[in-house]
Amino acid sequence: MWCKLPQKSEKKCFQSSGDGMKKAIQPPNSAAPKGPYTPGIVASGPMLYVAAQGPFDTEGQVVGETFDEQAELAFQNLRKVVEAAGGSMSGIVKLTVLVSDLANFAAMNELCKRHLQEPYPARTPVQTAMPGGVLFLVDAIVALETK
């Protein structure tokens, strides 16, 4: 299946492991991304909107003391929600990451590379204060497979 878009882009659509359709948009004569994200994504099919997932256990308690520990658990919790809806991480088209300290930006990029695949989703990182010792939160928009 191919995207039917009016753009003059030569890039093909990417089937993301059977989970919806997404096409990476990289405008000509623009800077290439400096991390695991795509400037724009065109997606079709039903969408899942995932609320911010954090480093919480099944009782809602914060788990992990380091950024890496908390971010890994937040991505695991994100995966649980996506898979419960019948999707996969490859269907993520938009990711928002909330970090307590932008000094962890490189570590966040490595986590994204480990948990996501190309074409990477569009991404917005935001530095913000979070309560209760939380160092990382992530939310997502996911294109689900149409059957």
The domain spanning residue 132 has which CATH number? 3.30.1330.40
Task: Please give the span between the terminal C-alpha atoms of the chain, in angstroms, as a whole number.
Answer: 13
103 belongs to a structural domain: yes
**pLDDT digits (tens), the chain, 147 positions:** 233 334 444 443 333 434 446 788 888 888 788 788 888 888 888 999 999 999 999 999 999 999 999 999 999 999 999 999 999 999 999 999 999 999 999 999 999 999 999 999 999 999 999 999 999 999 999 999 876
Distance CA 121, CA 131 (A): 27
2 belongs to a structural domain: no
3 belongs to a structural domain: no
6 belongs to a structural domain: no
135 belongs to a structural domain: yes
Distance CA 142, CA 65 (A): 29
Question: What's the number of domains the chain is made of?
Answer: 1
57 belongs to a structural domain: yes
- Global pTM value: 0.79
Domain with 122 in it = 14-143
1 belongs to a structural domain: no
